[in-house]
């Protein structure tokens, strides 16, 4: 019997498979992993965060919302100075800590442990929201449940489900100079989240400037969702099928660089 270890790594725990190198089960497993990798390319939250990091500019003050947006902190371009603000009272937030180096007293607004960069400061939430309401934040990156083709955003409540509160999103969407939404293109039922009108309770009206999903990058203009980039392996027809709001597709649409997809892809040749 010839057997082998097959290891697949991602940003999460390492998955290790021990399989018979000559068995039919081995071939089935490899085929499944190839398909899994291809699908993961299109559904990768890390790739979304990497792409949004391209929108950062030197000297920006940036607020990162809960969920996918928090991952942007790990992909700030080398040599660029960006100050991350967390509305619970932290200016100068760093990347997520390595396992074993977490400080339970140092968290972001989503209660995730974070790090601080040199020169960071801690203060109360009143001061933090004073910064936000005074327009000191250059860019806000938020998650969303729905976005309309005129830039409305719904991201704080689903009727009938318990919610702890609206959080800081109301202030952020009303005060930030630029708002980018990071989200999956469809919900768990496969229904589009890029809509003509939001059906969920509104967080802010006409405030979103750009949306980045696993399918592509969209600017929101007077004409609707203008497609700027496609993710690798995604077709324009697929985008049209999954976008209910007004969609504008004009000229040559570039494909998002492979480097902005998951690191799991780097193991594709192994399987």
Give the count of beta carbons closer than 10 Å to the beta carbon of residue 209: 18
Coil, strand, or helix at residue 72?
helix
Is residue 87 annotated as part of the catalytic site, yes or no? yes
- Active-site residue, selected from the candidate residues 27, 87, 99, 241: 87
Q: Across the strands, what pairs with 64?
A: 141
Q: How far apart are the first and last CA of the chain?
A: 20
Closest CA to 211 of 232, 188, 228, 199: 228
CA distance 202 to 173: 11
Please give the torsion angle defined by the CA atoms of residues 33, 39, 40 and 44, in that order, rounded to the nearest 10 degrees: 180
Q: What are phi and psi of 239, to 5 degrees?
A: -60, -45
CA distance 11 to 70: 14
Active site residues: 87
């Amino acid at each position: 019997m010839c057997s082998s270890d097959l290891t697949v790594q991602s940003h999460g725990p390492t998955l290790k498979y021990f399989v018979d190198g000559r068995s039919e089960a081995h071939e089935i497993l490899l085929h499944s992993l190839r398909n899994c990798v291809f699908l993961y390319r299109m559904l990768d939250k890390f790739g979304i965060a990497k792409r949004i990091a391209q929108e950062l500019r030197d000297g920006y003050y940036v607020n990162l919302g809960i969920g996918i947006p928090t991952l942007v902190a790990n992909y700030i371009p080398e040599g660029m100075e960006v100050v991350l603000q967390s509305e619970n009272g932290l200016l100068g937030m760093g990347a997520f800590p390595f396992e074993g180096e977490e400080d339970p007293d140092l968290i972001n607004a989503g209660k995730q442990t974070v790090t601080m960069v040199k020169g960071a400061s801690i203060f109360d939430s009143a001061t933090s929201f004073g910064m936000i309401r005074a327009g000191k934040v250059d860019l806000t990156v938020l998650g969303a449940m729905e976005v309309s083709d005129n830039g409305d955003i719904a991201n704080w409540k689903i009727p009938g489900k318990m919610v702890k509160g609206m959080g800081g999103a109301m202030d952020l969407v009303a005060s930030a100079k630029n708002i980018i939404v990071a989200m999956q293109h469809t919900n768990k039922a496969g229904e589009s989240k890029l809509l003509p009108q939001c059906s969920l309770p509104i967080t802010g009206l006409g405030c979103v400037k750009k949306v980045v999903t696993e399918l592509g990058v969209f600017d929101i203009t007077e004409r609707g969702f203008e497609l700027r980039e496609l993710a690798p392996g995604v077709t324009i027809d697929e985008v049209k099928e999954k976008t209910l709001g007004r969609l504008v597709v004009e000229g040559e649409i570039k494909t998002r660089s492979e480097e902005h997809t998951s690191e799991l892809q780097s193991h594709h040749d192994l399987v």
